[in-house]
Structure 1
C-alpha cells in the first residue's frame, strides 16, 4: 500500500495533515486518531506530520509481514512478543527507499535511523495501536489487560535514550566568534565574493543572519516576523505567536514555538531593518498584501511572498558551504554561550541569570531549559578550573625542585 502524508490549510487558516492512500483517500482510523487525540490535544501540525510518518512506517511493516492489525484486533487477538520484536527492528530501518511505488525497508547493511528517531516511531506506534485496539476489539476486562500489556511491551522495546552522549557531542561541535565574524563579512551586501548575486537578496540574507546571531531567536520566529513587530521609534522587537494564521499563504507555516515576548534591538540593527523595508521590500507589489518582514525577491509567481522554510534552508546550505556545520539552532546555542559569558563577567547570580535567559528565549521560568543551554559555558568553566588546579600543583612541584 503506497501511502503519503498530505498537508492542507483550512478556511480558518488552521493547518492539517492526514494520511492518504494511492488514490488520495484518507485512511479512516489514522484520520480519526489525528482528529481525536492529536488535534484534540492541541498538537502542532509538524508534530502531527511526524506522527503520521511513523504510522506510515507501521503500515509498511504490516505489508512486509502480511499482517492486518485492525482485523487482528477486531477478533480479540493482539501482537505477539516476536511480532513486537519484528516491529522494533523494522522501525529501526530507514524507510526512504521505494520500489514500484511501495515503501520498503533498506537491508540491514544500509544505514539505520538514529535511536531517537526509532524511539519516536515506537512511541507513536504504541499510542496509535492502543487507540485502534480500544475501538475495534470487543470490550472486556481481559481485553483491557491484554491491550495494556501489548502497549507496555512495545514501549519496553524502545531504545535507550543516550542523552548524555548526545549532549556531549553537541557541546564539542560549537561555533567560534572568529568564524561567524568572517561569515558576516562575506555576507555583507556588495562584498566581492558574496555567494548571492542579487543585491536585495544579499541585504536580506545578511540581515537575517545578523538578527539570528544577535538575538538567538528560532528560525520559525524569524520567518514569522512582521514589519509591525518592529518598533522603529523605541528600538524594540516583539515575538508574536501566529499559529494557523489565514493570512500566511505558506504551506509549511513557520511559527513561534516559545512564549511571546519583547526585547530591545541595537539601533544599528533597527536601522538596517528599516533600510530593508524602505529600499528593498517596498519595491515588491506582492509584499504589500501581507505584513511579513522577510520576502522572496526572485522573479516569478512567489516574488514578494513571505520567504518559505525551504528557501531559508537553501540559504543555510549556502552558509554551510562557507563555514561548515551551521544552522539556525546552532546560532541560538552560540547566543546562549555568549550570554553565559557576559552574565559571568557581570557577576549575575545563577538564579537571576536563568530568569533573564528564560524570558529572552521565551521559555517558562520553571521549564529547566535554560540550564541545558548553559551547559557548554559550565563545561568551559570546569575545564578552566581543572587547568588552573593543575598549574598550581605543578608550580609547587617545580618550586620544590628548585629548592633542592
Structure 2
C-alpha cells in the first residue's frame, strides 16, 4: 500500500494535511488523530505534516512486517519487545527505501543509509503518541488496559536514539565570510554580465531577497511572508507579521513566520531598493497586484504573479551553490548565522554587556529572552574569542610580545 501526504487549503484559508492511500482516500485514524490531537492543540501545519510523515513511515513498517495495529489493538494485543525493536530499526531508513517499487525493503548496510538521529527520534516520538492514541480507542477497556497501553508507549519512547545536547549540527563551521558574500552579491547585481538569470525583473527580485536576508537575518519563511504593507517607507521600518492560514495566500504550502512579531529598522538605501523593485518590476508582473506579498513569481505560467513559493525560493538558493566552489553548501540559514556573527562583533566593538547583547539579539531575531537561542547563534564569535584568548595566554607564558608574534 503506497501512501502520500496531501495538503489543501480550506475556504477560510486554513491549511490541512491528510494521509491518503493509493486511491486518494484519507486514512481514518491518522485523520482523526490529526484533527483531535494536533489541530486541537493549535499545532502548525508544518508540525502536522512532519507527524504524518512519521505515520507514513510507520505504515511502511506495518506493510513490511505484515502487521495491522488496528486489528491487533481491537484484539487486546499490544506491541511486544521485539516488535518495538524492529520498529526502531526500521525508522532509521530513509523514506525512499521504505516503499520500494520492487516490493522489497533493503536492509541498512552503511551508516550513510540511515537518516539523522534527530529524524529517528522525531519519528519514534510521533509514533509513540499515535499508538497510545490508537490503542486508547480500540483496545477493550479492562482494569489494567490503561496501564498496559502506557507501558507500551513508554517502551516505544525508550527506544528512541540518544541525542547529544547539540541535536543540530553546528552550522557555524560553514558560515560564509563577508568577502565571499560580497562576491556573491556582486554576481547577483542587476544588469551584471555574470548574473545567472537574464530577466531583469528576476535579477532585481533575487538580488533584493539575498540582500534582505543578509542585512536582517530573518528566516526564509518570514521573507516569503512579507507584504508591502509591512513596510513603513516614511519611518524606514519593517514589521515582521505572523499570518497563519491566510485566506489571501494562494500557496498550499504557505510559508510561516516561526518567531515572534517585531519591528525591524532599515536603512534608507535598502528601502529605496525595495521601492524600486515594487514600482519598477513587481507591479508589472501579471496578477501581482491581486495580493500584497512582496516577492512574486516572474516566470510565465499558471502561477505567474503569485507569491513566491518555498520550492521556488529553494531553487534560487540552490542555484547559488552551483555558481562557484566557494559558494558550495549555500543555504538561507547560513545568512542568518552570518548576521548573528556580525551582530556579535558589532556589539563587542560598541562595548555592550553580554546581557544587553542577548536582549537586543533576541528581540531582532524574534526569540524569547529566556529561550537561550541567542547563545546558539553566537557560537562562531565565541569560538573566535576563545581562540584569541588562548593565543594570548600562550604568548604570555612564552614571554612573546604582541609585536614580535
What TM-score do the two structures reach when normalised by structure 1? 0.95
SS of the equivalent of 1:285 reads coil
Partner of 2:384: 380
Task: Confirm or deny: 8 A CA contact 1:75 1:137 kept in the other structure.
Answer: yes
SS of the equivalent of 2:6 reads strand
Partner of 2:214: 213
Residue by residue over 1:118-175, the C-alpha shift from the partner in whole angstroms, topping out at 9 and shown as x without a partner, is 11110011010000011101112311111111111111111111344854x4222221
CA distance in 1, matches of 2:221, 2:359: 23
Residue by residue over 1:280-332, the C-alpha shift from the partner in whole angstroms, topping out at 9 and shown as x without a partner, is 01212301100000111111222111111111000001111121111111110
Residue by residue over 1:332-351, the C-alpha shift from the partner in whole angstroms, topping out at 9 and shown as x without a partner, is 01101111111111111111
Task: Confirm or deny: 8 A CA contact 1:94 1:106 kept in the other structure.
Answer: no
Task: Confirm or deny: 8 A CA contact 1:90 1:105 kept in the other structure.
Answer: no
Task: Confirm or deny: 8 A CA contact 1:96 1:105 kept in the other structure.
Answer: no
SS of the equivalent of 2:19 reads strand
CA distance in 1, matches of 2:306, 2:31: 31
Partner of 2:334: 330
Higher mean displacement: 228-237 or 267-276: 228-237
Kindly report which structure 2 residues correspond to 1:48-59, keeping only aligned pairs within 5 A, or say none: 48-59=48-59
Following superposition, the deviation at residue 372 of structure 1 comes to: 1.2
Partner of 2:109: 109
CA distance in 1, matches of 2:79, 2:261: 45
Following superposition, the deviation at residue 208 of structure 1 comes to: 0.3
Following superposition, the deviation at residue 109 of structure 1 comes to: 2.5
Kindly report which structure 2 residues correspond to 1:192-231, keeping only aligned pairs within 5 A, or say none: 192-231=193-232
CA distance in 1, matches of 2:129, 2:334: 32
Kindly report which structure 2 residues correspond to 1:137-286, keeping only aligned pairs within 5 A, or say none: 137-164=139-166, 166-167=168-169, 169-286=170-287
Residue by residue over 1:55-104, the C-alpha shift from the partner in whole angstroms, topping out at 9 and shown as x without a partner, is 011111111111111111112111110000000000111121444486x6
CA distance in 1, matches of 2:198, 2:52: 39
Partner of 2:84: 84
CA distance in 2, matches of 1:165, 1:288: 43
Residue by residue over 1:171-213, the C-alpha shift from the partner in whole angstroms, topping out at 9 and shown as x without a partner, is 2222111100100011000111111111110111000000000
CA distance in 2, matches of 1:49, 1:380: 39
Following superposition, the deviation at residue 391 of structure 1 comes to: 1.4
Task: Confirm or deny: 8 A CA contact 1:17 1:48 kept in the other structure.
Answer: yes
Partner of 2:319: 318
Partner of 1:402: none
Partner of 2:69: 69
Partner of 1:401: none
**Which of 365, 369, 372 is the matching residue for 1:365?**
369
**How many aligned positions are there?**
395
**Which of 126, 129, 139 is the matching residue for 1:127?**
129
Partner of 1:307: 308
Unaligned runs of 5+ in 2: none
CA distance in 2, matches of 1:321, 1:47: 31
Partner of 1:400: none
What TM-score do the two structures reach when normalised by structure 2? 0.95
Q: What is the alpha-carbon root mean square deviation over aligned residues?
A: 1.5
Following superposition, the deviation at residue 396 of structure 1 comes to: 5.7
Change (3 A) 1:298 1:139: same
Is the aligned partner of 1:346 residue 2:350? Answer: yes
CA distance in 2, matches of 1:163, 1:332: 22
CA distance in 2, matches of 1:101, 1:19: 22
SS of the equivalent of 1:294 reads coil
